[in-house]
Amino acid sequence: MSEGQSRDPLILFMPSGKRGRFPVGTPVLEAARSLGVYVESVCGGRATCGRCQVEVQEGNFAKHGIVSSNDHISPVGPKEKRYAEVRTLPEGRRLSCSATIEGDLVIDVPQDAVVNAQVVRKAASDRVIERNPAVHLCYVEVDEPDMHKPLGDLDRMKVMLEKDWGYTDLQVEPHLLSEAQKVLRKGNWTVTAAIHRDSPTSRPTIVALWPGLHNEAYGLACDIGSTTIAMHLVSLLSGRVVASSGASNPQIRFGEDLMSRVSYVMMNPDGREAMTKAVREAVSELVDKVCAEGGVSRSDILDSVFVANPIMHHLFLGIDPTELGQAPFALAVSGAVACEAKDIGLALNPGARTYLLPCIAGHVGADAAGATLSEGPHRQDRMMLLVDVGTNAEIVLGNRARTVAASSPTGPAFEGAEISCGQRAAPGAIERVRIDAHTLEPRFKVIGVEQWSDEEGFAEAAEKTGITGICGSAIIEVVAEMYLSGVISADGVVDGSLAARSPRILENGRTFSYLLHEGAQKITVTQNDVRAIQLAKAALYAGIKLLMEKQGVETVDTIRFAGAFGSFIDPKYAMVLGLIPDCDLAEVKAVGNAAGTGALMALLNRDHRREIEETVRRIEKIETALEPHFQQLFIDAMALPNKVDPFPKLAAAVTLPERKLLAEGDAEGGGRRRRRSRE
């Protein structure tokens, strides 16, 4: 990149996370298209269709080094003014075909303006969950009023609920006191009561009433991830998932990783309120979506269960997460939270309840608890490793005898951030990579294109999506393939001597990089990219190894990758990289959104709530920062797959290269005469 280009304004598009530099005066739509960001336009840039709307996010986005302001975009011009007069342009929205770049910007592409965008959806579990929900529908026929028996209408209904259903000591939601007489008369003295009872020892409460027979009630199971929010609408009576939907977490605009969101709260006085409002509005929009898809009224939703990592958990509840940004990483509340849905801004049935699973530790949240409930290491004899790879990896290791947990700060490298050509998983992103060990030529697969890059028809198909960057699963594969083909050494140094053999090895001053694709967007894997992946994988492996030492085991029996990212990781490449310990590859499985499955289980069976509460109380929490041995484990884990740990099961399945070290002790692999040695 020339010196002039490096000073061009930096533009970051949300929620895709794609970014690039563009000259002043470039239309925002043109910038979006060159980066592969989908912004619809039907009128061809004439500012008549209004489909290319975007919003400028104002604020100091320290993580990206961007101060974004409406002063950094061109003033509203005559075309936009004319459009706003003829049609309506919501406040704060701009037409990206007319607005031009004048300075650094964070641009939000509103989801309501995206028509054919990638659908974010985490599928519901196909497992059968035994039903014992916290909400029970009870139909009763009530005696009519009698002047000789002056018992109130509601009290006579309670008598029948005890007689027919065995409920004693019933409480009644206050809002129903004024409704009961009307409902009873409308139903001609027949009524259906919804009774909420979270546990056999808690006092039952009438939370809703319908005249006559009402034979359906629904609940929500929701996983609030830092990147994606996934929701299922479920029949509490049949257990059937009626509808599912997902959306990008709108908090991404405040920071891609969790700690940058905590920083935003610390730097902006109203940051906490803004983020709480954003996530609650996104949840509410998803409720609308699943209700529309399932043909269900909000008033029929009586229960809801949420899982989230600690920072999302706190922000959703309206709690300032600042304490989680610094040692000792204190949670405001770690146990399960039960409240009324309306208390956290959820407009469901007025009597609807909400339950949040407990958090395990300061950085091991209710999502890890949900995944634990789903996969059940505590229910088996085998030693299970459960890993949710994200910006902050959550690790649980155990069996029915003992379970330990920790978090490891892997950073956002696996999700594409901090990688020179990294991006989120979206059409145009490279998702699979293979490198020929002899020619060093790559072939790859792109999201949205059926063929591999060396197959007929690929170029034509890729014209539609573009080839825009590398997503997380491909970053793991390309670094692992670079190791298997000898492009990088066991200590992660790009072998510059191969430049004489292949034009794919490019010199960058004192280091070298690997050219994956030459096109409109030049996609390379730099020495710094390899380092970023090494640091991330070493942090995860060292955390896992620490838990293995606590358990007194040298191997694990089975490994489960949880989370959306885990679903796309190839276990073989994860092991070649040294992301996870040696294990029979047949025992390494992706379990998708296990946290969401845990939420579903807690929604449909209140006994699972007691199970996870008890399990979390027994899980031993390990703080990696306080463990003196962590640093050595981390250093050993920087090597591929590992400096000291053997991988016999992997070696039986994959031909590992002969160990090669380059510029040993020189972190950047440059500045010293290279030497090669073999162990």
Same domain, 154 and 107: no
For residue 5, the model assigns a pLDDT of: 54
20 and 163 share a domain?
Answer: no
Which of 674, 455, 566, 644 has the alpha carbon at shortest distance from 228? 566
The answer to whether position 622 is within a domain reads yes
Q: Give the CATH number for residue 331.
A: 3.30.420.480
pLDDT at 216: 86
Residue 403 lies in a domain: yes
Both 248 and 100 in one domain: the answer is no
Q: What is the pLDDT of residues 469-511, one digit of tens each?
A: 999 889 999 999 999 999 999 999 999 999 999 999 999 999 9
Domain count, the chain: 5
Residue among 64, 100, 105 nearest 79 (CA): 100
The answer to whether residue 661 sits within a structural domain is no
**Domain presence at residue 73:** yes
The Cα–Cα gap between 597 and 675 comes to 51
Query: How much is the pLDDT for 109?
Result: 86
Residue 346 has, within 13 A of its CA and on its CB side, a CA count of: 30
Of the residues 478, 505, 523, which one is the last residue of a structural domain? 523
Q: Quick one: pLDDT at residue 558? A: 98
Domain match, 245 and 152 both: no
Examine the domain organization and report whether 562 and 618 are in the same domain: yes
Asked if residue 312 belongs to a domain, the reply is: yes
CATH, residue 573: 3.30.420
CATH of the domain at 188: 3.10.20.880
The percent of residues in the chain predicted with pLDDT above 90, rounded, is 68
Task: Write out residues in the chain with pLDDT < 50, as ranges.
Answer: 1-4, 42, 113-123, 664-679
Q: What is the pLDDT of residue 117?
A: 35
Q: Give the CATH number for residue 48.
A: 3.10.20.30
- Are 204 and 174 within one domain? yes
Q: What is the predicted pLDDT for the residue at 184?
A: 97
Domain that holds residue 448: 415-523
Measured CA to CA, the distance from residue 49 to residue 45 in angstroms comes to 9
Question: Do 168 and 99 fall within a single domain?
Answer: no
pLDDT at 414: 79
Same domain as 440, residue 298: no
The reported pLDDT for the residue numbered 505 is 97
Strand arrangement, sheet containing 620-621: 588-590, 558-562, 384-388, 393-398, 403-408, 620-621
Evaluate whether residue 128 is within a structural domain. Answer: no
Contact (Cβ atoms closer than 8 angstroms) between residue 365 and residue 310: yes
pLDDT in the model for residue 663 = 61
Distance of CA 454 to the CA centre of its chain: 32
Judge whether 364 lies within some domain.
no
At 225-270, the pLDDT tens digits run: 887 899 999 998 878 899 999 988 887 777 766 777 888 888 888 8
Residues 65 and 25 placed together within one structural domain of the fold: yes
State residue 331's pLDDT score. 94
Residues 511 and 594 in one domain: no
The Cα–Cα gap between 285 and 110 comes to 13
127 lies in some domain = no
Residues 397 and 351 in one domain: no
For 225-270, give the secondary structure using H, E and C: CCCEEEEEEEECCCCCEEEEEEEECHHHHHCCCHHHHHHHHHHCCC
Q: Are residues 206 and 231 in the same domain?
A: no
Residues 6+ positions from 614 with CB-CB distance below 8 Å: none
